[in-house]
Structure 1
Amino acid sequence: MNAIDLTIFSSRIESVCDEMGAVLRRSAFSPNIRDRLDYSCAIFDADGELCAQAAHIPVHLGSMAFAMRDIVSRMEWQDGDLVILNDPFLGGTHLPDVTMISPVLVSNEHLGFVVNRAHHADIGADTPGSMPISSHLDEEGTVIPPGYLLRKDKIQQTLYSEILSTLRNPELSQGDFEAQISANRAGMARLQGWISQLGVEEFRVGLSELNSYAERLSSTALKQIPDGIYSFEDRMEDDGAGNRDLPIKVSIEVEGGRINVDFSGTTEQTGGNINCPLSVAAAGVYYVFRSLMPPQTPAAAGSFRAITVTAPKGSLLNADRPAAVAAGNVETSSRVVDVVIGALVQAVPEKMAAASQGTMNNVAMGGVVNKRHWDYYETIGGGMGASLNGRGLSAVQTHMTNTLNTPVEVLEMSTPLQLTEYAVRRGSGGDGDHSGGDGIVRTFKFLEETTVTLLTERREISPWGVDGGSQGQSGRNMLDGELLPAKCSILVDAGQILSIETPGGGGAGYG
């Protein structure tokens, strides 16, 4: 396959992922999927190796790339199957992220899988929004081990009914589940049609060459990192269960372009919900090293073959069942990125940046209006860290998520909430030759009694600067002007005001 054919092959397979995402977005019922785009789509080969992905959510895609081989080896796959799962210890991330996997067969030959993962604001947790202050996996919602939702393209009604019966608003959730099914069907149809035209053997050759090309590009980029051992430590402020200042430590050994990322010394798994499976930690690592590779590097397994990730069993980054993990996927993954970047600043300072906001500022809410349950979830952007090449962006999602905000109009039409302020938090970025990006102020007025859960970080330990740049400002959560804990669940009355001020990014350089 020549260079032109390989480029066309790469673009064509990625476009299938894009089309899956478009179908999912246009079919979904909930604002979280339809408007915030909290979903991801990818294609894997028959062994569960990543082949292509759309530019969706890094924490979704990296964790799928790490875990898929194990998932697909457990199941027996037939044409028309669709497997559903969300179990964090069997290939998932946290319970709201529901994954659907469909095999792709052409002429009775199994050639790969189409996969999508979408975040559901209602997965049956103890509190609305399904991001509770939890200490046990079962408190976080309905645990779905890998199981067949479709067999020979027919819904397995027993399993489907069992899942829907645990949810507060099953009609809305069913719409989102069926949007995910539709996305996989669209991906299968497009991929099967293309392979039938291309030929099965040519498709296999294309996948092999795509991975080889990805491996060459990544190898060239990683060999530019000087050999050595680079270490860094940062901390999680608290776990929501009274445990504070929990260290995450990393040691990155670089030798001839091969990378070993070791999280030994990281705190043991904790009583709160900031634990995560190793796949989530790996997603953060993959994301940072992917940012060092050329933009044209294919999103294929070959990109990561030179990178190994280890963390002690039973630690915060490789937790054992039944550890609570709701915030691990969002908050702890953000800190993983911070420590990996912090280590690499020592090796390639010109290619790294100061710490960004380091949190997703999770807000989960819900209640009952006119005898009908409603659930809502969003993450809020903040400041991006500056680099030696320029200032950080303001008021953006950073690193492990690139979801959109929920438009004010959609928020107010879908929930008994009023948004009274949505603004850039001026001056919250760190100073330096290049200043860090500013955070966001987002203020909600409640029109009905509402249960609110906040899972946030960087409320005490500010995002750090580089090369003499100063820290970004830490964030604040306030109810009627009174400071709230970083992680809490509260019942608010109609008329009360919740204000979230998100962190700014660290500055870079001090002239």
Structure 2
Amino acid sequence: MSSDTTDTTDTRAEEETTAADVLRERDIDPVTMQVIGGELDTIAQEMAYKLIRSSYSSIIRESEDMGAGIFTTDCRELCESDSTPMHVGSLIGYLQGMYDTFEERGVSREDAINEGDVFIHNHPHYGASHSPDIAVAVPIFYEGEHIAWAANTAHHLDIGSATPGLAVDLEDMYAEGSLFRATKVYSEGERVEEIWNFIRDNVRTPREVIGDLQAQVSSCNVGKERYLALVEKYGLDEIQATGEALMDYAEALLRNEIRKIPDGTYYAEDYLDDDGRNRGERLKIAAEVIVEGSDITVDMSKSADQTPTGYNIPFHGSTDVCIYFTIRSILMDTFVRDEYLPQNSGTFAPVHPKARPGCMFNPTPPTSAFARINQVDKMSDLIIKALAEAIPDKVCAGTCGQVYFVSYGGTNDAGEYWVYLEVNEGSYGGRPGADGLDAVDALVHNTKNRPVEDIELSHPMRVERYALREDGHGAGRHRGGIGIVRESRFLTDAVMTMEGDGNTYKPHGLFGGTDGTHGDLKHVTADGEVIDLNSKESGYKFAANDRVLIKTASGGGYGDPHERSAEQVYEDYLDGLLDEERALDAYDVVITDGDLDTAATAERRDDHS
């Protein structure tokens, strides 16, 4: 299913079409559209809450590494939950991958899809975001007709890959673990026990994986019930017509914003650490953004070739979804807009992702594409950087375009596996009106922190330090956000796989702001020896009482540091975010014996202006 582009909805290329025009053309009452749109959004949110509250593993229950929504039968998104962006837009790719599977197997959709069926799907070359993200899809039937899908996807603790939980240094996709293509776990309402038994027998954490899958099924069934209730309330024709209007409306809103960007080609590039096997061989990542009227193309073709490991990105389900979401986030920020902004496939239509087959953003089978989150983080960062000169008031400086996503595992006294997945937060870059956010996850995955108490109750680990970094950030009129430092001790022998990046580069500054700080990863042995680790490690061993020390990146600064008030710099000093030397070097702010020297600061800044 490899492709160099994707576009799942019809585009509206008319330059003068506005959101109001859409309502007139559709002959739909805007109040009715917004009411039904709100009810659809509520369905997606309820699906998400059901999954979160019913799940077994902390990666879903606490981190909320999941997404849910309702989709048309031709794979368009009607609504999405406010959870992990990568997990909602990707479901379009999952459903299309299921349809491609049916076609390859010579089975018609009518024969393959029946009322009461429940499908699972996670194949990275058939639309999945990556294989640990297993989607559950439930067809919605009304009066014998297949009218929609209720679907969700969530990251699972383990799928039986080469190393517990996560995997990086893999030979091909077959080493990723259990791959499912449109596999029924319920057939016409009957549980397919052979598949459930297969899953149970081929993962390290069967209780959590089976429990999470069943929670996903329950979530989809809630979505199905609520959507059918909506159909009964308004009628099928009204619901379907409103769904089309909502998508056209969202498309028109985004096209209007794209038209405000000067036409042209914008470009940014950087280099990732390595592929997890070939150390020291950095990987080019390049984003070319082409704006033409109300259409925007993001082409990743100038990036490095696909790697021989699992450090690649599925085009459908990850590359395209990250591009869709990044553009939407820049141009249709719901926080600063008063009007109703539907989040659906209409916002994908004016955006055209591209990547040549065989590059790391569009790998060809049987290449593995297991470890992909850092690349899409960095891609999002570079799209924003490329557009900075064109729309400076809508972008931020370099974010934690890398993340330390890690799995820890081991066995207990009974020989049973425990696996823990941890997302270590980074930060955002400074932005036009404010400092970067501290200790937050990257925008495209938006996962949450797991409480320390819960970690220590559930796993043989102790979190000995968890705080903001105190060794630098990007200086600017608006400083970069502060990353975290986390130090954890293992109470038993353990194995770690780290899917990280950013040990060798820093988040960029913008408009005179300085770069942030790079990440860092260390193994501290029980006797105090400190061992530097790579940003990617596969099956790395720790002994009991060893510690792992993680520092995530701090964001880049936005604007000239001399334009930051001395009082703000002094407040950061009081908060322990910089010392006297850093205040002087980066901001020309003089702090002596813990007090702000305003006169000396003014004189120094005058001398350096």
TM-score w.r.t. structure 1 length? 0.97
Alpha-carbon distance in structure 1 between the residues aligned to 2:495 and 2:388: 41
Q: 1:388 to 1:331 in 2, by over 3 A?
A: same
Task: Report the AA paired with residue 232 of structure 1.
Answer: A
Q: How does 1:10-159 map to 2 (within 5 A)?
A: 10-66=37-93, 68-72=95-99, 74=102, 75=109, 76-159=112-195
Instruction: Give 1:89 deviation, angstroms.
Output: 0.6
- Is residue 378 of structure 2 the alignment partner of residue 342 of structure 1? no
Q: Could you say which residue in structure 1 is the equivalent of 2:33?
A: 6
**Is the contact made by 2:98 and 2:121 (CA closer than 8 Å) also made in structure 1?**
no
Instruction: Give 1:172 deviation, angstroms.
Output: 2.3
Q: Return the match for 1:282 from 317, 320, 329.
A: 320
Q: Return the match for 1:237 from 250, 256, 273.
A: 273
3-state SS of the aligned residue for 2:486? strand
Alpha-carbon distance in structure 2 between the residues aligned to 1:294 and 1:168: 41
3-state SS of the aligned residue for 1:211? helix
Q: Could you say which residue in structure 1 is the equivalent of 2:197?
A: 161
* Structure 1 unpaired stretches of 5+: none
Q: Return the match for 2:533 from 467, 484, 488.
A: 484
Alpha-carbon distance in structure 2 between the residues aligned to 1:339 and 1:71: 32
Q: Could you say which residue in structure 1 is the equivalent of 2:586?
A: none
- Is residue 366 of structure 2 the alignment partner of residue 322 of structure 1? yes
**Is the contact made by 2:118 and 2:136 (CA closer than 8 Å) also made in structure 1?**
yes
Alpha-carbon distance in structure 1 between the residues aligned to 2:265 and 2:383: 12
Q: Could you say which residue in structure 1 is the equivalent of 2:552?
A: 502
* Structure 2 unpaired stretches of 5+: 1-27, 103-108, 335-339, 525-529, 564-609
Q: Which has the larger radius of gyration?
A: 2
3-state SS of the aligned residue for 1:345? coil
3-state SS of the aligned residue for 1:248? strand
3-state SS of the aligned residue for 2:557? coil
Instruction: Give 1:427 deviation, angstroms.
Output: 4.5
Q: Could you say which residue in structure 2 is the equivalent of 1:217?
A: 253
3-state SS of the aligned residue for 1:465? coil
Alpha-carbon distance in structure 2 between the residues aligned to 1:485 and 1:253: 35
Alpha-carbon distance in structure 2 between the residues aligned to 1:264 and 1:250: 8
3-state SS of the aligned residue for 1:186? helix
Q: Return the match for 1:293 from 332, 337, 342.
A: 332
Task: Report the AA paired with residue 339 of structure 1.
Answer: L
3-state SS of the aligned residue for 2:273? strand
Q: Could you say which residue in structure 2 is the equivalent of 1:362?
A: 405
Q: Could you say which residue in structure 2 is the equivalent of 1:303?
A: 347
For residues 18-66 of structure 1, give each alpha carbon's deviation from its aligned partner in whole angstroms, at most 9, with x where no partner exists: 1111111111111111111111101111111111001111222232235
Instruction: Give 1:275 deviation, angstroms.
Output: 0.6
Alpha-carbon distance in structure 2 between the residues aligned to 1:470 and 1:211: 41
Alpha-carbon distance in structure 2 between the residues aligned to 1:129 and 1:69: 27
Instruction: Give 1:293 deviation, angstroms.
Output: 1.5
Alpha-carbon distance in structure 2 between the residues aligned to 1:460 and 1:70: 36
**Is the contact made by 1:106 and 1:196 (CA closer than 8 Å) also made in structure 2?**
no
Q: Share of identical aligned residues, percent?
A: 30
3-state SS of the aligned residue for 2:141? strand
Runs of 4+ residues deviating >4 angstroms: none
Alpha-carbon distance in structure 2 between the residues aligned to 1:290 and 1:351: 12
Instruction: Give 1:297 deviation, angstroms.
Output: 2.1
3-state SS of the aligned residue for 2:424? coil
Instruction: Give 1:316 deviation, angstroms.
Output: 0.4
**Is the contact made by 1:428 and 1:439 (CA closer than 8 Å) also made in structure 2?**
no
